Structure formats: C-alpha cells, structure tokens
A = this chain, B = another copy of it.
Amino acid sequence: MPAIKDVARRAGVSVATVSRVLNDHPSVRVDTRERVLAAVADLGYRPNAVARSLRTDQTRALGLVISDVLNPFFTELARSVEDAARELDYSVVIGNADERPDLQDHHVRTLMDRRIDGLLVSPTDGGSPMMLAAARAGTPMVFVDRWIEGEGLDRVPVVRTDGQGAIRALVAHLCALGHRRVAIIAGPAATTTGRERVAAFRSALRESGLALSADLIGQGDFQADSGRRVTARFLDLPHPPDAIFAADNLMALGAMDEIRARGLRVPDDVALAAFDDIPWFVHTDPPITAIAQPTGALGRAAVTALIDLVEGRPAESVTLSARLVTRRSCGESEGSTP
C-alpha cells in the first residue's frame, strides 16, 4: 500500500506538496497539482486515515452505542444516524450493548480508545463509569432516545421522543373500546424511557378516572423473554387485565407469544398495544396498535446536535413527538390518529 512519500517521489515533489494537493490548499501551481494527481492515480494511492487522525487529532468517526441491535427501533435509528453522518462526511461505528451495562462500558471504552470525535448513546443503565469519564473528559456526547442524569452529564444534550400525548391517545382509545383493567409491561427502571412510559401511562389513566394498581405493573427489560414472563404473571392473576401495554416492541412480541400459547385471543380475551411501531406490526395476527416514533428525524437531529458539539458550536436538546397508530389489537376500529 503506497504512502505519501511514494507519491512524492513519483511526482518529483516533496511530501508537503502532495499533502497540500490532497487537502486542496490554494498555493500549488496548476501543473504541479496535475503531476501529483497523476501520481496518485497511477499508484492507486489512498491517504492513511490512521496517520491523518493521529496528526490532526480528529477521526471523522462517531460512535453510536445502542441498547439492542435486534430491536428494529434501534436498527432503524442506527440506519438514519449513519445516513445523516455520511452526508456530513463522518463514519459511524456502532456498538451493541445488548441491554448489558458491562457491554455498554466495553463499547464506550473501545470507542474512546479509538478516539472517535463524538459519542451518541442510548444508555442501558444508570451510570456507566466510562460514560461519566467520557463526558467529564469533554468528549462531545449526545443522548438519543434514553438518557441518564449524573454529575457532569447535565450539559449533554438529549434527543428524544415524547410519548405523553400518544400514550394519552392510547389510553383514550382503550377506554373507548371498553377496557378498564389495563396493565403495563414496563422497561427497566434504570432507563428513562422505562420510567417515563409508566409515568405517562399512569397519569393518562388517572385522567380517565382509572388507576394503575401495583399488580398490573410488570417489570420487563425491553427484551422479548421478559414480555412473555410478565404476561404469564398477569394472566395467572385471579383477576387478569383486559388490556396490556408493552413499553417496547420486543416485549409486545413476547406478550403475544404467551397469550397465544394459552389459547387466548387478541383482542377478544386481552387487548395488546406497544410502544415503537415496526413494519411487521401490520402483518401480525391481529395487526398491533402501536405508538410510532419519528426514527428518521430522531437520528438526524441527534447527528446534527453531536456534530455541532464536535465542531465547537453549541447544541441543544430536541424533543420530538410520537403518534398513535391504531390497528386491531385493542378491538375493532382501524385508522391512525395524528
């Protein structure tokens, strides 16, 4: 693999001149530039990004640590982040934490070691030590979807979706269909989305004159299995719920598994709704009512904020809103509410 000095030798100039051509510095005579470009083409030379990064102290790479790649929501997010970053000439290095704090820490550490220019995180737990260290060290950092609080983290912008309105719409929808005893499969209390969705659900219920009793709050971990376990517990109750709201799509899948395994039907025996909409929800039996996040916009906003930070501009938190997409899993009534 040819280096800059090979190009210089072949073009009969110094490495400094080659570098100037490569970074199109103005003061290079046209014929010299052409000679250099010809040498570059002849040799198939490509600048070594590693060397360049060492010298310039920037990698033009962003790190994205997500909680679970197998969750379509995060896959879509990752895709939109990559698209947005590519347009600004940045690469994205993804780390999958698999909802495990230790893995999350591993990825943050590796990314920092590789000196990525900025970090996009959707934290799994409350206070990963590496993340705190990174934030304190002044690494440009933005939280997406979920965030954490902590010393030194108050200046980290948060790009997220507010589900309150959509959850209120969902509760109204459930009430209108006659459901009164509704349960929630919550996400981990260590995550903001885990807590917020429960809180929003509870207050929406209260507004509709319903209460969320303790035995109808099940603790899940955003993965399918936990949805299944929690649902089993709900259905074993002497007085089981007539509607279940899963705080993410994977847990809804698990819930559906369990309901079906017991020979029960959705929505006749239990209604089901999920946070996070995905293409497959249209095709399940029955199609599942869900709260959709604007994933594309979320990813773009996160990248914009992060790159503002990276390039020394101030960045602000962004909150987008989710919307309810009603299908048949809570009872008859098709259509979507904006």
Report which A residues bind B (CB closer than 8 A).
Answer: 1, 44, 46-51, 53-54, 59, 61, 69-70, 72, 75-76, 78-79, 82, 86, 91, 93-94, 96, 106, 109-110, 112-115, 133, 137, 224, 253, 256-257, 279-280, 282-286
Contact = CB atoms under 8 A, between A and B. Distances in A.
Given A109-B46, A110-B91, A284-B284, A70 B59 contact: no
Given A48-B115, A284-B284, 20 more contacts: A1-B137, A49-B115, A50-B50, A51-B54, A54-B54, A70-B75, A70-B79, A72-B72, A75-B75, A82-B96, A86-B106, A91-B93, A91-B110, A91-B114, A94-B94, A224-B279, A256-B283, A280-B280, A280-B283, A283-B284
A113 B79 contact: no
Contacts of A133: 44
Given A53-B50, A283-B253, A283-B284, A76 B70 contact: yes
A112 B45 CA distance: 11
8 contacts: A44-B133, A46-B109, A50-B114, A69-B78, A75-B75, A91-B93, A91-B114, A256-B283
A94 to B, nearest CB: 6
Closest 6 A-B residue pairs measured CB to CB?
A285-B285, A280-B280, A49-B113, A283-B284, A49-B114, A50-B53
Contacts of A285: 283-286
A112 B44 CA distance: 12
Integer count of this chain's copies in the complex: 2
Nearest to A94: B94
Nearest to A256: B283
A112 B50 CA distance: 10
B279 A253 contact: yes
A59 B50 contact: yes
A99 to B, nearest CB: 13
A221 to B, nearest CB: 17
A147 to B, nearest CB: 24
Contacts of A54: 48, 50-51, 54
B46 A112 contact: yes
A172 B241 CA distance: 44
Contacts of A257: 282-283
A47 B115 CA distance: 10
Contacts of A69: 75, 78-79
Contacts of A53: 50
Contacts of A61: 114
A133 B75 CA distance: 30
A54 B1 CA distance: 13
A67 to B, nearest CB: 13
